[in-house]
Amino acid sequence: MNDKTEGQGYFTRLSHAGRAGTNVRGFVNVPVHRGSTMLYGSMSERTNAANERFEQKAHYGTGGSATHWALENVVAEIEGGTRCQIVSTGLAAVTVPLLAYLKAGEHVLMPDSCYGPARTFCDNFLSKMGVATTYYDPSISGEAIEALFQPNTTVLYLESPGSHTFEVQDVPALAAVAKKRGAKVLMDNTWGIHHFQPFQHGVDVSIQALTKYVVGHSDVLLGSITVNSQEDWERVRSTSVILGQYASPDDCWLALRGARTMGVRMDRQEKSAVEVAAWLRTRPEVKQVLHPALPGAPGHEIWKRDFTGACSLFGVVFREDITRESVHAMAEALQLFGKGASWGGFESLALPTGTVTRTAGSGQFGGEMLRLHVGLEDPDDLKADLAQGLTVLNARR
Ligand SMILES: Cc1ncc(COP(=O)(O)O)c(C=O)c1O
């Protein structure tokens, strides 16, 4: 098996990455390698192994196994980086690099639209370490963000599109300012996994909740941190080891299995999501659909410039006269959309997200919001389900 995939197409790379060099004969997939203690033939062999902690070589269970490394290689390939660290959850993929690049007395710039628990981490944990956070308008320009940099700003954090509100960030412009100011650019690229190449747009560290589309079946939690330089690799890898980060090889194996079919799942889900989103736009109850792939939607122009496609997670903003109770009644009535958090699985989900008020930037969105994740079901059935849900919503107004 050859995993030299340079120059090959994306789908070829998804099928072949991470499958070589594992001493596996016969089976198509890298099996589950489990273990904690490693045995060595000699003491010198053991000493050499401990010195190879930045390599994909086993010395103790926490260093990973062939199963972890295969997944690391696949994710590095997808993200267009050199090395990847697998961690226990998507949230750990957020917190580990923040801890790797920030210390007491420093300052981080976070988008106001960041994933909620990332905000909690800054407010309740980094603050106790003496790290200050400034939340910025996610739609901010390169010129405007420069004014927010302080002499001690060492990290510019990006998440594009933003959680719940889907603002598409001008990543190249923002990253260029960070470079000029000597700050690292960390980006949560979970939404863009299939369609945004972070390192081609100036990002230093790319964060993924593999829990979403890579796993793809709503049954495993995992995260990844991908870098594109040896210096960043050593920083991320050593912090992850210090923090005792580890992921079960069984979970990595399931994520590897998910990665092989992610491309086809996501292509289908993107198509269905755009169809459902465009249909929702025609409904009188809906003020705005926040899906960057829709022409005229917020962020569409930057999305068209920087992304090669979209995933199937988007937001709906209802008209101001529609109450929270009626949106909840609609969500209750849905039969095909599950009521639940997370996204990226094969199944559709609906989550009322209330009204969003920015602490920085563009203010209110104007109405109650519903986040939708479109799965692999037939889009006509999903539209029919939403239509009957809207009938319930209208009955409650
Ligand atoms: C944008 C984003 N990043 C990170 C995470 C965290 O992922 P996990 O659920 O695996 O901790 C989530 C989860 O919803 C998310 O939406």
Coil, helix or strand for 186?
Answer: strand
- pLDDT tens digits for 56-85? 887 889 999 999 999 999 999 999 999 999
Return the ligand 1 atom nearest residue 190 CA.
1
Query: What is the chain's mean pLDDT, rounded?
Result: 93
Task: With both helix axes pointing from N to C terminus, report the angle between 379-395 and 249-281 in degrees, rounded to the nearest 10.
Answer: 60
Return the ligand 1 atom nearest residue 223 CA.
10
Q: Categorize the per-residue pLDDT at 1 as very low, low, confident or very high, splitting at 50, 70 and 90.
A: very low
- Strand intervals (E) in 38-111: 83-87, 107-111
Q: Distance (Å, rounded) from C-alpha 185 to C-alpha 202? A: 8
What percent of the chain has a predicted confidence (pLDDT) above 90?
81
Q: Distance (Å, rounded) from C-alpha 70 to C-alpha 65? A: 9
Residue 247 corresponds to which amino acid?
A
pLDDT at 28 over 80: yes
Per-residue model confidence (pLDDT) at position 5: 64
Residue 389 corresponds to which amino acid?
G
pTM above 0.85, yes or no: yes
pLDDT at 31 over 80: yes
Per-residue model confidence (pLDDT) at position 104: 98
Work out the number of other CB atoms within 10 angstroms of the CB of residue 110: 25
CATH annotation of 10-258: 3.40.640.10
Residue 164 corresponds to which amino acid?
H
Per-residue model confidence (pLDDT) at position 362: 65
- pLDDT tens digits for 183-202? 999 999 999 999 999 999 99
Per-residue model confidence (pLDDT) at position 195: 97
CATH T-level fold of 263-395: Aspartate Aminotransferase, domain 1 (3.90.1150)
Q: Whose CA is nearest to atom 15 of ligand 1?
A: 115
List all residues whose CB is within 6 A of at least one atom of ligand 1. 89-91, 94, 115, 163, 188, 190, 209, 211, 221, 223, 342
How many angstroms from the chain centroid is the CA of residue 136?
19
Which CA distances in Å does 137 have to 106, 131, 148, 221, 297?
20, 20, 11, 29, 18
- Distance from the CA of 371 to the center of ligand 1, in angstroms? 14
Q: Distance (Å, rounded) from C-alpha 346 to C-alpha 327? A: 24
Coil, helix or strand for 272?
Answer: helix
Where do the structural domains in the chain lie, given as residue ranges?
10-258, 263-395
How many residues in the chain? Answer: 397
Work out the number of other CB atoms within 10 angstroms of the CB of residue 55: 12
